[in-house]
Amino acid sequence: MKRLNMPTQPSEERIKNFEEVELGFEPEDAIKEARRCLQCTKPACVHGCPVKINIPKFIGHIAKGKFDKAAKVIKKTNNLPGVCGRVCPQEDQCEKICILTKKGSAISIGQLERFAADHQKIEDAPLINKINKEIAIIGSGPAGLTAAADLSIMGYQVTIYEGLQNAGGVLRYGIPEFRLPNKVINEEIEYIKKLGVKIKTNQVVGRIVSIEELQKQYNAIFLSPGAGLPHLMHIPGESLPNVYTANEFLTRINLMSAYKFPEYNTPIKKASKTIVIGGGNVAMDTARSAKRLGSDVTVIYRRSFEEMPARLEEVKHAQEEGIHFLLLTNLVRVLGETKVEAVECIQMMLGEEDGSGRRTPIIIENSEFNIDCDQVIIAIGSSPNPLATKNTPIDHNPQGYLFTNEELMTSREGVFAGGDIIGGTSGHGATVIQAMGDGKKAAKAIDTFLKQKKLSEFEDKKEEE
């Protein structure tokens, strides 16, 4: 039997709303898809999962119609199953090495994970015996939330400091509602709070309180502030009104519900022609959001489709929604007197492979041309915001990514780090599941560190006596 996929909202409908594009399996289809799983005794799929979910076991429960049991299996290692089922790049992880990939088509592991999460009964949190040790976590994205949940289950008293008004990190302010509804994030965060985790919002570490001060109050710190400082192009005209970074544009829409203006009081420009620069997931989310606000949208990318870092599925959805792609093209300047009126572009060609394994884009001289537009959104990447570590020296590379040892401890004793803030030094990609994998690893390392510290303090005391 062939792989089953979830139904989606038709493209002509979905471009008029911010509701979820993918509609989820009906129970009978989930059972049918789950029954395709071979229940391998040595399941390759599990090795592809950075948090090692027992994939055959949860799929086995779905095949028997025991949806709640399936969710419980996933939650043993993953506290954000509804999130991961929706946004993880399974095609590059568990599904890529599912045994059935070679025989036809991989099991829809991600879609089944999402199904189990959506059909679970919200359970009461387990009773946890708390110990007298406190941990502070900076940032409430997937890395921080995962470390918090694991540490809380171990008995630690955990407080998350979040700079924004709502918890969730990029899940909340970056990934749009039509891919990841806030309702799903809220439910999963509520469960983490039930585990005893305290979340303090509007607490910008580095401004309100320093890491040094936090170290005096807490036994250990986990730094997970992400890498949300947007890159700019540094081209003429970039500071004209109606030029946004993707970060600002998406935050207005997702965190501040600007797409519901005037019901919510954050306005957003309803442009008639938008240019989005970039070729990653962020560019796709930006383009598809601008489209839903009623704009005609063109994505400009300096390489070809082959080198595009965005998930294939996102590019496909964007194309179905009528977004135009102008490839092998770059931006030279933004034109306009008092606001954006057009962009000047230049054509590119591909040269030799660079360090990233992709072919380098090279300018084709005298190939400039203009495109009229009234909004430009820059989605060319981001790097760490140095605010959290301001005034607290911690070793980092020139872009601000923190160095850690194998156990994710930074150069400052008792301060651990993970997620996107170490993305540029650890070599791992910037994905939700990698951030969660770091959160789990850091939780274990903090536990070991505190137990060893207690032992050495005890031994020192004995020696003194």
**Distance, CA of 390 to CA of 388 (rounded, Å):** 6
Give the x/- contact pattern for ligand FAD in 370-399, rule: CB under 6 A.
Answer: ---------------x-xx-----------
Name the minimum Å distance from CB 388 to ligand SF4.
Answer: 39
CA distances from 457 to 130, 219, 414, 450 (A): 21, 13, 15, 10
The alpha carbon of 457 is separated from its chain's Cα centroid by a whole number of angstroms, namely: 39
Name the minimum Å distance from CB 401 to ligand FAD.
Answer: 11
* Residue from 224, 242, 298, 383 binding ligand FAD (CB under 6 A): 224
Instruction: Determine, following the binding rule CB under 6 A, whether residue 443 of this chain makes contact with ligand FAD.
Output: no
Residue 43 site contact among ligand FAD, ligand SF4, none (CB < 5 to 8 Å, cut-off depends on kind)? ligand SF4
Subset of residues 72 to 101 that bind ligand SF4, contact rule: CB under 6 A: 98-100
If the CB atoms of residues 295 and 389 are measured against ligand FAD, the closer one turns out to be 389
Residue 140 site contact among ligand SF4, ligand FAD, none (CB < 5 to 8 Å, cut-off depends on kind)? ligand FAD
* Residue from 48, 85, 174, 361 binding ligand FAD (CB under 6 A): 174
If the CB atoms of residues 77 and 166 are measured against ligand SF4, the closer one turns out to be 77
Name the minimum Å distance from CB 24 to ligand FAD.
Answer: 17
Instruction: Determine, following the binding rule CB under 6 A, whether residue 50 of this chain makes contact with ligand FAD.
Output: no
Subset of residues 36 to 65 that bind ligand SF4, contact rule: CB under 6 A: 37-40, 43-45, 55-56
Query: What are residue 363's DSSP bridge partners?
Result: 348
Instruction: Determine, following the binding rule CB under 6 A, whether residue 408 of this chain makes contact with ligand SF4.
Output: no
Name the minimum Å distance from CB 55 to ligand FAD.
Answer: 17
With H, G, I as helix, E, B as strand and everything else as coil, classify residue 213.
Answer: helix
Name the minimum Å distance from CB 432 to ligand FAD.
Answer: 4
The number of residues that bind ligand FAD (CB under 6 A) is 40
* Residue from 106, 154, 268, 432 binding ligand FAD (CB under 6 A): 432
How many C-beta neighbours within 10 Å does residue 35 have?
Answer: 14
* Strand spans (E) along 218-338: 220-223, 229-230, 243-245, 273-277, 296-300, 324-326, 329-335
Specify whether the CB–CB gap between 380 and 286 falls below 8 A: no
* Strand spans (E) along 174-322: 198-200, 220-223, 229-230, 243-245, 273-277, 296-300
b/e 339-351 (16+ beta carbons within 10 angstroms → b): ebbbbbbbbbebe
Looking at 84-92, 123-131, 287-295, 453-461, which segment touches ligand FAD (CB under 6 A)?
Answer: 84-92
Residues 6+ apart with CB under 8 A from 227: 382, 383, 384, 385, 400, 401, 420, 421, 423, 424, 430
**Distance, CA of 369 to CA of 363 (rounded, Å):** 13
Query: What are residue 273's DSSP bridge partners?
Result: 296
Subset of residues 101 to 130 that bind ligand SF4, contact rule: CB under 6 A: 107, 109
Residue 211 site contact among ligand FAD, ligand SF4, none (CB < 5 to 8 Å, cut-off depends on kind)? none
**Distance, CA of 208 to CA of 18 (rounded, Å):** 35
* Residue from 15, 80, 112, 170 binding ligand FAD (CB under 6 A): 170
H or E element at residue 360: strand 359-363
Q: Tokens for 420?
A: 């996107």
* Residue from 205, 220, 299, 380 binding ligand FAD (CB under 6 A): 205
Name the minimum Å distance from CB 44 to ligand SF4.
Answer: 5
Specify whether the CB–CB gap between 77 and 54 falls below 8 A: yes
Residues 6+ apart with CB under 8 A from 91: 311, 312, 313
> Tell me, what DSSP letter sits at residue 124?
P
If the CB atoms of residues 339 and 390 are measured against ligand FAD, the closer one turns out to be 390
Q: Which parts of this chain interact with ligand SF4 (CB under 6 A)?
A: 37-40, 43-45, 55-56, 98-100, 107, 109
Q: Which residues bind ligand FAD (CB under 6 A)?
A: 87-89, 138-144, 161-164, 169-170, 174-175, 203-206, 224-226, 228, 250, 281-282, 285, 385, 387-388, 419-420, 430-433, 435
